[in-house]
Amino acid sequence: GAVVSQHPSRVICKSGTSVKIECRSLDFQATTMFWYRQFPKKSLMLMATSNEGSKATYEQGVEKDKFLINHASLTLSTLTVTSAHPEDSSFYICSAWKGGGYTFGSGTRLTVV
């Protein structure tokens, strides 16, 4: 079946630094990937749609310069949280769309100290 690998699973970084999260589709090609953010005891909030070979589409209220998305190949999308602040601490989850269904990564717990 379709598998999406997300790394790292946990990361702690200092305020002001940048963190990159990777989302890979292991056994299929994904022209479209999605990035979500989830706060404790809350639902998944769609941040952006990542399209291979083109610019990402961001949801309203999501800062594109803060959350840089790159989808350079059919199997890899990356989310970079730039100049991280404690309020960026959250659980980030990616999803890959393959005609007929979605496959989710296992999530990345980001803690900014």
Partner 1 sequence: GESVGLHLPTLSVQEGDNSIINCAYSNSASDYFIWYKQESGKGPQFIIDIRSNMDKRQGQRVTVLLNKTVKHLSLQIAATQPGDSAVYFCAENGGYNKLIFGAGTRLAVHP
Site residues (vs partner 1, CB under 8 A): 6, 32, 34, 36, 41-46, 49, 91, 93, 95, 97, 101-102, 104-107, 109
Return d(Cα 63, Cα 81) in angstroms, integer: 10
Amino acid at 3: V
Nearer to partner 1, 45 or 82 (CB): 45
Q: In angstroms, what CA-CA distances link 26 with 50, 62, 80, 86, 93?
A: 17, 28, 20, 32, 16
Nearer to partner 1, 76 or 82 (CB): 76
Nearer to partner 1, 77 or 95 (CB): 95
